[in-house]
Amino acid sequence: MSANDTTLVDQGTEVATEFWTHVVDVWNTSFLGASLGQGLLAVLAILAGLFLRGLVATWLIAILRRLVRRSKTKLDDAVVDALAEPLQLVPVVIGVFVASLILGYGGDETVGARITQSLIAISLFWALHNAVTPVANGLDVITSSLTPVMIDWMTKAMRILFVIIGAAAVLEIWAIPVGPIVAGLGLFGVAVGLGAQDLFKNLIAGVLILTERRFLPGDWVFVDGVVEGTVEKINFRSTVVRRFDKGPVYVPNSKLSDNAVTNFSRMTHRRISWVIGVEYKTTTEQLAYIRDKTLEYVLNHPEFAKPPEVTTFMRVDAFGPSSIDFKLYAFTVTTNWTEWLRIKEALAFELKKIVEDAGTAFAFPSQTIYMDDGSEIFLPPELKAQQEQIAATENDGGN
């Protein structure tokens, strides 16, 4: 081999060595400062966590359900159901933690540690967020002292609170100061509050409605000039009232707090108040018969409330322009509108039968017109004497 050939071989060896050195450097440092092999293992760990999250969560939930099945209360079962979704994040957290160890980021104050801690904080506050509703609805102390709407508002507020605290915890993990952010939000809140006075007014009105228990979902309410219908939902800003034509009305809470609200659903009885007119030719015996038979029907009917619980009467009340008027005043036991209409219809049928059995009839608006037949008009004696004296005087003057 000549000297030139030896030189070419040495140069080729140096190039190959240098190239391999670059390949090794890339392999050892190309994945976030770690080797490519470590990076592939870290990715596999995360993918394994994602793949196993459903299986592990199902397994953990099954174990927890077997444990809580021994208790008599249903509260722990509801809490376990609420924890099903947050538990799916546990395998992912473990995968991220293993990946950070593989990449050499497992020490304190490292990016891997902060990512793992952030995921743990998210899992914990997610679990607390989901557990609020079953705990609030499952504790007898809360359900017995608060209305369902107040419990709903309380759970919403607690969920928002856990979201805020969880976000603050994640920020603290990443060494981001929360104080300046809160101060900035405070100034922003003042600026927004000046332009959102109606929002806070309606929010406070909603709280007053709940504390006063003016109405609850399902109640039939009437607010003069605003709305009449069935309450469906009481939100932070407005209340959804569905009218009887099935159209929803979104009423600001301030309208329902400042105005007088009639809650028909809280009636103890429904009233029947009628004016019944009969003909003027009806005798006193017939009037007494109609009165007594109507009262007998109302007082003996099981669907009418009885005195002294309610006031019930049937009396001759007035002499109208074309009728003698009875006043019927009674209350039904039911407050259901359709049932009340049925009872009122049956009373109308019975009342018509009673009037017909009495031998008289209902009166209707009428007028009587008297026609002059041309005969001498009647005059009082004093006026007639004056006219005769005047006539006599005129006759004497003519003679």
| Residue whose C-alpha is closest to residue 77's, from 87, 88, 90, 66 | 66
Q: Tens of pLDDT along 19-37? A: 666 555 655 565 555 666 6
Query: Averaged over 242-249, what is the pLDDT?
Result: 92
- Contact assessment for residue 361 and residue 355, using Cβ atoms and an 8 Å cutoff: yes
CATH for 268-399, options being 2.20.25.90, 3.30.70.100, 3.20.20.220, 3.30.70.20: 3.30.70.100
Identify the residue whose tokens are 């077997």.
Answer: 66
Residue 290 and residue 326 in contact, taking contact as beta carbons nearer than 8 Å: yes
Choose among 203, 280, 264, 193: nearest CA to 236.
Answer: 203
Query: 3-state SS string over 196-222?
Result: CHHHHHHHHHHHHHHHHCCCCCCCEEE
Handedness of CA 73, 76, 80, 82 (dihedral sign): positive
Instruction: Identify the bridge partners of residue 262 per DSSP, sorted by sequence position.
Output: 222
* Beta bridge pairs of residue 327: 275, 315
Query: Which residues contact residue 180 at a Cβ distance below 8 angstroms, ignoring those fewer than 6 apart?
Result: none
CA distance 348 to 353: 9
CA pair distance 185, 181, nearest whole angstrom: 6
Give CATH for domain 198-266. 2.30.30.60
Are the C-beta atoms of 221 and 257 separated by less than 8 Å? Answer: no
Is pLDDT above 70 for 397? no
Instruction: Return the domain boundaries, the chain.
Output: 11-189, 198-266, 268-399
Say if strands 227-234 and 238-242 run parallel, antiparallel, or are unpaired: antiparallel
- pTM above the 0.75 mark? no
Question: Cβ distance 278 to 289 under 8 Å?
Answer: no
Give the pLDDT of residue 352: 95
CB 293 within 8 A of CB 354: yes
DSSP 247-314: -EEEEEHHHHHHS-EEEGGG-SSEEEEEEEEE-TT--HHHHHHHHHHHHHHHHH-TTB--TTTS--EE
What's the pLDDT at 389?
77
Q: Nearest to residue 256, comparing CAs of 303, 300, 215?
A: 215
Question: What are the pLDDT digits (tens) for 178-229?
Answer: 766 666 555 555 555 555 677 778 888 888 888 778 888 889 999 988 899 9
Query: Among the listed ranges 51-55, 308-312, 374-378, which one has the minimum average pLDDT value?
Result: 374-378
Q: What is the pLDDT at residue 47? A: 80
DSSP secondary structure string for all residues of 313-332: EEEEEEE-SSSEEEEEEEEE
Most confident segment among 64-78, 174-188, 308-322, 378-392: 308-322
* Residue with more model confidence, 345 or 72: 345
Q: For residue 260, what are the CA distances in angstroms to 70, 102, 379?
A: 51, 69, 61
- Determine which of 52-61, 175-184, 236-245, 362-371 has the lowest per-residue pLDDT on average: 175-184
DSSP 371: P
- Mean pLDDT score of the chain: 80
Instruction: Name residue, tokens 């299986």.
Output: 55
